[in-house]
Chains A and B, each alone.
Chain A
């Protein structure tokens, strides 16, 4: 049972917009920044969004992040086959005094 809650799967067709949610509580998402990681099979995760909505260099602007209250979202527009991967949200938890992750969402491009 992960501290942050994500849907286990999401899907869309090429060109569509897909949104992945991340639900937490006042001790984590509600009071700290949220970061998103992308992971392809057999490889290490890579940061996709940091500080709620900031993109590292090299991440296209069709990928965006947002946060409101105790929930955060990752949106991918203009869906492409190369977006098929696992996505994880993460944030600091003040009660646990450590980082916490969502359970991950497997994105399928149909």
Chain B
């Protein structure tokens, strides 16, 4: 079945870096746009970044632009999020999600999420 599994979360000090990974299975990964979406504790959903199916287009929310880098390796069916210069406000559960369409905010499925905690 279609499955996404995130890893790489953990506790990091403000100013530090972390790299999240998302392993995809059960579908042709290279056919789909992918996104990272986060949820701060007790808060709502916030889209972070997306990447086109063939790696040639990326886009970021203003809150992470210049600090986060999304990438993918279609040969390894994997999505990544390199997070640098982390801030306390980046503390959240980070989900990877497959975009069922293009430019339609239709995410299906989502991974189980990985928790990133930034200590100040």
Query: What's the least CB distance linking A47 to chain B, in Å?
Result: 5
The contact string, 1 if C-beta is below 8 Å from chain B, for chain A 31-74, is: 01101010000011111001100001000000000000000000
Query: What's the least CB distance linking A37 to chain B, in Å?
Result: 7
Known: A37-B45, A101-B45, A103-B44. A46 touches B105 (CB 8 A): no
Number of A-B contacts (CB under 8 A): 68
The chain B residue sitting closest to A97, CB to CB, is: B59
Query: What's the least CB distance linking B95 to chain A, in Å?
Result: 6
Q: In the complex, which residues of chain A have a beta carbon less than 8 angstroms from the beta carbon of B61?
A: 98
Query: What's the least CB distance linking B17 to chain A, in Å?
Result: 24
CA distance A34 to B100 in the complex (A): 13
Inter-subunit contact A91/B111 (CB<8 Å): no
The chain A residue sitting closest to B112, CB to CB, is: A44
Inter-subunit contact A33/B106 (CB<8 Å): yes
Interface size grouping (class) on chain A = 20 to 34
Known: A32-B104, A92-B105. A98 touches B50 (CB 8 A): yes
**Residue among A2, A45, A102 with max Cβ neighbours from chain B (10 Å):** A45
Interface size on B, residues (CB 8 A): 21
The contact string, 1 if C-beta is below 8 Å from chain A, for chain B 91-120, is: 000010000100111111111110000000
Q: In the complex, which residues of chain A have a beta carbon less than 8 angstroms from the beta carbon of B109?
A: 44, 46
The chain B residue sitting closest to A28, CB to CB, is: B105
Q: Does B35 contact A (CB under 8 A)?
A: yes
Inter-subunit contact B106/A56 (CB<8 Å): no
Q: In the complex, which residues of chain B have a beta carbon less than 8 angstroms from the beta carbon of A43?
A: 112
Contact residues, B59-82 vs A (CB, 8 A): 59, 61
Inter-subunit contact B45/A88 (CB<8 Å): yes
Q: In the complex, which residues of chain A have a beta carbon less than 8 angstroms from the beta carbon of B47?
A: 98-101
CA distance A90 to B104 in the complex (A): 9
Q: In the complex, which residues of chain B have a beta carbon less than 8 angstroms from the beta carbon of A45?
A: 45, 95, 107, 110
Which B residues fall within an 8 A CB radius of A?
Answer: 35, 44-47, 50, 59, 61, 95, 100, 103-113
Which A residues fall within an 8 A CB radius of B?
Answer: 2, 32-33, 35, 37, 43-47, 50-51, 56, 88, 90-92, 97-104
